[in-house]
Structure 1
Amino acid sequence: MAKFHLTPNSVQEILETYDEDVIVTNREGIIIKATRISGQHYGIEVEELIGKSVYELQSAEIFSPAITPLVLRQKKKVVTIQKTPSGAKVLITGMPFFNEIGEVEFVVSYSYDVSELLVIQEYMKEQEFEMSKVQEELQLLRKKSFSMKGLIIESKETHEAYAVAHKVAPLDVSIVLYGEQGTGKTTMAKRIHKESSRTNGPFIELDCATIPESMFDKELFGEQIGIGKTATISPGLLSIAEGGTLFLKKVDRLPLHLQGKLLKVLKDERLKPLGSEETLSLDIRLISSAETELFQATTENRFLKEFHYFLTIIPIHLQPLQSRKEDLSALITYFLHYFSAKYNTEKSLSDSVFNLLLKLEWKGNIHELRNVIERIIVQSPEQIIGINDLPPEYRMQFEEGLTDIDLDGQTLPTILEHVEKKVLNNARQRYKTTTEMAKVLGISQPSVVRKLKKHTLPD
Structure 2
Amino acid sequence: MNEDTARLSLKIERLEALLAVTKAMVTQHDLDKLLDIIAHEAANIVGAERASIFLVTSDRRALTSKIAIGMEETGLAFSIDAGIAGYVARTGEVIVSDDPYGDERFNPRIDEETGFKTFNLATVPMYGTDEKKPGPLGVFEVLNKKDGDFSEEDLEILLALSGQAAVAIENARLLAELRLAQDKLDRENTRLRQRFLKEYAFENIIGIAPAMTELLSLASRVAESTANILITGESGTGKDLLARAIHGRSPRAEGPFVALNCAALPESLLEAELFGIEKGVATGVEERDGKIAQAAGGTLFLDEIGDMSLATQSKVLRVLQEREFTRVGGSETVRVDIRVIAATNKDLKAEIEAERFREDLFYRLDVVELCLPSLRERREDIPLLAEHFLEVYRLKSEKDIKGMSQEAHDVLVSYTWPGNVRELQNEIERAVALAKPGETIGQEILSEKVRAAAPSPLRPMADAVRALETGLIARALKESEGNKAAAAKLLGLSREGLRKKMARYEIKL
Q: TM-score, normalised by structure 2?
A: 0.48
Distance of 1:232 and 1:399 partners within structure 2 = 60
Which runs of structure 2 are paired with 1:411-422 in the superposition (5 Å)?
A: none
Partner of 2:113: none
Deviation track 1:204-261 (CA, whole Å, cap 9, x = no partner) reads: 111111122112332122122269xxx9842111111111111110111112222122
- For residue 369 of structure 1, the aligned residue among 397, 400, 424 is 424
Q: CA offset at residue 293 of structure 1?
A: 2.5
Asked whether 1:168 is paired with 2:168, we answer: no
Q: What does 1:29-178 align with in structure 2 at a 5 Å threshold?
A: 149-178=203-232
Give SS of 1:354's match: helix
1:192-341 aligned within 5 A: 192-225=246-279, 233-341=287-395
Name the CA distance, whole Å, in 2 between partners of 1:147 and 1:198: 14
Which SS does the other structure have where 1:171 is aligned? coil
Q: Say which SS state the counterpart of residue 393 (structure 1) adopts.
A: helix
> Does the 8 Å contact 1:147/1:153 carry over to 2?
no
Indicate conservation of the 8 Å contact 2:306/2:346, yes or no.
Answer: yes
The answer to whether the Cα contact below 8 Å between 1:178 and 1:315 also exists between their aligned partners in 2 is yes
Q: CA RMSD in A?
A: 2.8
Number of residue pairs aligned between Structure 1 and Structure 2: 262
Q: Larger helix proportion, structure 1 or 2? A: 2
Partner of 1:384: 440
Amino acid at match of 1:302: R
Q: Shift of residue 399 of structure 1?
A: 7.7
SS in 1 for 2:337: coil
Contact kept in structure 2, 1:146 and 1:153, CA below 8 Å: no
Relative distance call for 1:193 and 1:148 in structure 2 (3 A) is: closer
- The equivalent residue for 1:11 is none
Q: Which residue of 2 aligns with 1:352?
A: 407
Closer/same/farther in 2, CA of residues 358 and 222 from structure 1, 3 Å limit? same
What CA distance in whole angstroms lies between the structure 2 residues aligned with 1:359 and 1:383?
A: 23
Hey, what's the Cα distance between the residues in 1 that align with 2:244 and 2:390? 24
User: Relative to structure 2, which stretch is displaced further, 348-357 or 145-154?
Assistant: 145-154
Q: Could you tell me how far 1:387 is from its partner in structure 2?
A: 2.9
* Cα drift, residue 362 of structure 1: 0.9
- Find the aligned partners of 2:262 and 2:373 in 1 and give their Cα distance: 22
Could you give the per-residue CA deviations for residues 376-397 of structure 1, whole angstroms, max 9, x where no partner exists?
A: 1221237122332222333327
Structure 2: how far apart are the matches of 1:172 and 1:313?
Answer: 10
Q: CA shift at 1:184, angstroms?
A: 1.1
State the TM-score, normalizing by the size of structure 1: 0.53
Equivalent residue letter for 1:384 = T
Q: Which residue of 2 aligns with 1:75?
A: none
Letter in 1 for 2:440: I
Q: Which runs of 5+ in 1 are unaligned?
A: 1-144, 410-459
Aligned partners of 2:453, 2:254: CA distance in 1, in Å? 52
State whether residues 336 and 347 of structure 1, in contact with CA within 8 Å, keep that contact through their aligned partners in structure 2.
no
SS for the counterpart of 2:204 is coil
Range that drifts further, 383-392 or 295-304: 383-392
Correspondence for 2:245: 191
Q: Which moved more, 1:206-215 or 1:390-399?
A: 390-399
Q: Tell whether the 8 Å contact from 2:407 to 2:442 is kept in structure 1 after alignment.
A: yes
Assess if the C-alpha contact under 8 Å between 1:170 and 1:195 holds in 2.
Answer: yes
Question: Which structure 2 residue ranges, 5 or more long, are not aligned?
Answer: 1-198, 465-509
Name the larger-Rg structure: 2
Map residues 7-46 of structure 1 onto 2, 5 A cutoff.
none
**Distance in structure 2 (CA, Å) of the matches to 1:151 and 1:214:** 36
